[in-house]
Structure 1
Amino acid sequence: MKEWTKERCSEEPQELQLVADGIYIQRKNIEKVQHEATEGMEAYTDWECESREITVSEYQMLESIKQINTDKAIDDYTAQLIEEGLL
């Protein structure tokens, strides 16, 4: 997994894009940016975001971590300690 870097795109990018066998580009904070016309350049729109390369397995691991409900796990563990008389 690489560090997040700033990316500019001419079209709206996908949040997750398969770019090679087992490699994704993951994007966040995707924003549409309007640029005013200047001397010699017409007005245009592009997209800015943060992106990084991530393997499919790294992405799956991060997604599984998101699925963990830490509050419920703490509550269940506390209830177990109370039942066992440790709290």
Structure 2
Amino acid sequence: MTDWKKVTGTQPDKPEEIDRTSSPLTVYLRKNIEQVTREVEGSNGEMATEWQYDEKEMTVEEYENMALMKTIVEENTSGIVESVTQFQRDAVIDEYTQQLIEEGLI
């Protein structure tokens, strides 16, 4: 996996955020995709349209592992939140009970 790098592309259509088709071995992740216009060097004011974006390359295996982990986290998020919330409730109740015992109220 590479770090994010700034890339300029000349493709006619907006690049996909996740590109699994350009290469059989590499998945390209893209973000901050912007269309820009610039003057072509050596021309008489001719303008060219390009795409600028941040891009990261991953192997297909790295991407599939990342996607699997994301799915697992998304599927289990509500259960994790419930567990933490219940743990916090139990801790508050335990602390309050201890305080009542120390004050001799129970």
TM-score with structure 1 setting the length: 0.68
Distance 1:37 1:51, change over 3 A: closer
Percent identity, aligned pairs only, is 26
Q: Which segments of 5 or more consecutive residues in structure 1 lack a partner in the other structure?
A: none
Structure in which a larger fraction of residues adopt helix:
2
Larger radius of gyration: 2
The amino acid that maps onto 2:17 is E
Residue deviations 1:1-59 (CA, integer Å, cap 9, x gap): 11111110112222222343332121111111122577724012110001121022322
10, 15, 18: which is aligned to 2:17? 15
32, 36, 59: which is aligned to 1:33? 36
TM-score with structure 2 setting the length: 0.59
Structure in which a larger fraction of residues adopt strand:
1
58, 81, 84: which is aligned to 1:74? 81
Distance 1:82 1:4, change over 3 A: closer
How far, CA to CA, are the matches of 2:38 and 2:4 in structure 1? Answer: 24
Distance 1:44 1:20, change over 3 A: closer
Aligned pair count?
A: 84
